[in-house]
Chain A
Amino acid sequence: MDRQTTAGAMNDADLAQLLSQVRTGESDAWGELYRQYAPAIFRFCRRLLPAREDAEDATTEIFMKVRQKLGTYDASRPFTAWLYKVASNHCWDTLRRRRIRQDLETGDVDSLPLEHPDPSQLERLQAEHTSKEVRTGLAQLPDRARMALVLRYYADMSYEEIADTLGVRRAFVGVLLLRARHQLRDALSGGGVANARKASAGGTP
């Protein structure tokens, strides 16, 4: 799934015209842009932020930022990429403001041993869990792990974009993603992540 299908499905010409109308201050055009993209951004935020209300707030705030920053958008780049970048930055800022940032995930990821997966176990895990369970497991992951997976496998961001958003070296993104996959597997197969997370967050659920 790429951004073009997760976000509004406007063609380039229509979008360019709409954006130019928004820049000239046409409120109808702004409303149309919002209607086209707000649902996708809400879904995106919903996958990143723990509560539905947070995602609602974030959607509104992201579009306020979009309105303010639209002048900085480079029309030679895809609009959806820019939009998701604004959204992911906002969500990451939101999560960073929270008190339960995991100290564990700030530096120790490289040193944590990764068990080599058993392909058959991996396939069984995939077969046994529904999408809803995966999403539940995802919600239990540390913020950065969840961010990495959503940015990569939902918003289809490049490693460079993920590195930029999360403030890490590009070479570290692969480690983050692999670590996040392992944490998700643990969460789905028996709550290992929840325990690790609890320990890192000083007992906060």
Chain B
Amino acid sequence: MNQSDGHFDEMTGLLYLEGQLDAGRASEVSEHLRSCAPCREIVHALETEGVWLREALAVEDESIPARVIAAPERGATHWGWIAAFALGTGGAYTLWSGFVEPWLTQASQAGFTQGNLLTMLFFTGAFWKGWDAMRSLMEFMAVATLGMVAVWLLRKQWQRFTAIAFVMGALVLGALAWAPSAAAADVEHGDPGYTLPAGQEVKTDLIVAAERTRIDGDVDGDLIVFSNSLTVNGHIKGDILAFGAEVRVNGPVDGNVRVWCQSFTLDSAVARNVMTGTGAGEFDEKSTVGGTLTMFSNSTQLNGRIKGDLLAFAGDLNIGGSLGHDARIRGGQLSVGPSAEIVGRTKYTGYHEAEVSPGAKLGSPIEFTEIKRGQTYDRPRYYWHQIMFWGASFVLGFAILLVAPGFFFDAEQMCKKVGSAIGFGALFLFATPIAALIVCATIVGLSVGIPVLLFYGVAVYAAKIFVGAWLGEKLLGAGVGVGPALGRLALGLAILRGVRMLPYVGLLAGLLIVMWGMGAVVLALHRRITTPVVVAA
């Protein structure tokens, strides 16, 4: 016996009960138990404690989560893969026929003779008419599915290779994007200003990064400038591509002008197209644009002559010059002055009707579409649109559930962390586009910035899906499998859509839902690409 009082200790009792004593020792204990009531009580108490523990551990007081059940179904659900493949194929076709081909076709028309696909994507994609085709629900779904399939296929390599692949891919694409123009370019860095004196001619492309840039001489190639202020007085025989605060072009340009700046003034002839993204734009009376003028502007005075189409998103647009072709304008205010002349059709979408001077010469009356403020609850079409929006979200959610059920349920679960999800969501919602646009400001960064913006767009759209799924689970409980998950998703999205339709608060609620869902996506991604270090409860 182990104890001085003649009884054995608790450890011996436990080992005896569990059959862990050797035969001799076990028979010794067994013998002792016959004659020792206190030890029998101890052994009996340990035995019942063991049974009690087994029973407590065996009790099933929690349901099996849908995620655990659903995970293997992706392997067995062949029809889901077939649907995803079909949608993916459709997406690839849509991308090619809807985007790449028309872009390639438009590229030469738009004067991108020295350009490359990335440049075209960036400079013509945003205003390309082919976006209309993308409004087709199935096409959108197909493209989204294609993207998700790609992400899913790469998910295992994501953690290990993502940084390397991303950087290498960006470098390669950036190099490809840069190569055509940089190969034969004269690169200048101003200290702090750069001036190309009058009478001098640069016989190749000229790239300038300077605080102030003045081009009085000629450039027999493209002029690419990153500068706080740029004044061009010389003759540019290629394109002008400029980023800055203030840009003024006084000299003739044989190619295109593409400018992103605070203030832009054109006082000369541009042989091809002009695209501007400006706070304030001014096209003086002497200015001419041989091709299309595309503008994103807060306020623009258009007194020059545009030989091609005008495509404008403008807060305030005053037309005092002549337009040789059609005009499509969307903006807050449109004024057509007495000296204005528009040869083709004019379509204007805005809050107020255009102010047209009696002296203005118009090829046809302005086709005005009023933008209605607020919701139009009295129109059946409004409700039809709501159903379509709900359906689109549901189909996308369905696709995500089929293609990446693990991620779907992860993101859904992360919605439970309401505070942190909304916090991270707000951060990423506002920071991501800013970061992407900053990256886009350099040509090399386009290859990174554009995919980030595309992914960001998908994430913003998909955010409500996870919140909807979470809401559905709250209301209907956590059933097992894909079917109940779809039911929960349908209900949750319907409720969110209903909330979104509320006057005034709907918009705010929509923003909150996007932040919430986006945060959940970020947290789920973070959880997947890092080893969780969690403090035990």
Contacts and interface: CB of A to CB of B under 8 A. Distances in A.
Contacts of B409: 56
Contacts of A184: 53
Nearest to A44: B57
Nearest to B11: A178
Given A30-B72, A60-B406, A1 B535 contact: no
Interface in B71-128: 71-73, 75-76
Contacts of A42: 64-65, 68
A122 interface: yes
A162 B59 CA distance: 22
A139 B62 CA distance: 15
Contact of A31 (B54, B60, B72, B535): B72
A132 B61 contact: yes
Interface stretch (B44-52, B496-504, B510-518): B44-52
A2 to B, nearest CB: 10
Contacts of B9: 116
A36 to B, nearest CB: 10
B75 A31 contact: yes
Nearest to A1: B58
B532 A205 contact: no
A150 B54 CA distance: 9
A143 B65 CA distance: 24
A100 B535 contact: yes
Contacts of B49: 122, 126, 181
B136 interface: no
Interface string A138-176: 110001000001100110000100000000000000110
A131 interface: yes
B4 interface: no
Interface residues of B, number: 46
A49 B55 CA distance: 19
Contacts of A97: 531, 533
Nearest to A53: B413
A6 B534 contact: no
B69 interface: yes
B20 A153 contact: no
A174 B11 contact: yes
Q: Is the interface of B mostly helix, strand, loop or mixed?
A: helix
A54 B534 contact: yes
A177 interface: yes
Contacts of B11: 114, 174-175, 178
Contacts, number: 137
Contacts of A132: 59, 61
A35 interface: yes
B450 interface: no
A86 interface: no
A134 B53 CA distance: 8
B14 interface: yes
Interface in A32-47: 34-35, 38-39, 42-43, 46-47
Contacts of B163: none
Contacts of A143: 536
Given A42-B68, A123-B45, A174 B58 contact: no
A99 B535 contact: yes
Interface in B376-411: 406, 409
Interface in A18-40: 27-28, 30-31, 34-35, 38-39
A154 B537 contact: no
A107 interface: no
A26 to B, nearest CB: 10
A117 interface: yes
5 contacts: A38-B68, A38-B71, A97-B533, A177-B18, A178-B10
Interface of B: 9-11, 14-15, 18, 20, 41-42, 44-46, 48-50, 52-62, 64-65, 67-69, 71-73, 75-76, 406, 409, 413, 531-537
3 interchain residue pairs of minimum CB distance: A134-B56, A34-B72, A119-B45
Interface of A: 1, 6, 27-28, 30-31, 34-35, 38-39, 42-43, 46-47, 50-54, 56-57, 59-60, 63, 95, 97-100, 114, 116-117, 119, 122-123, 126, 131-132, 134-135, 138-139, 143, 149-150, 153-154, 159, 174-175, 177-178, 181, 184, 204-205
Given A149-B53, A174-B11, A204-B535, 4 more contacts: A100-B535, A119-B42, A149-B57, A154-B57
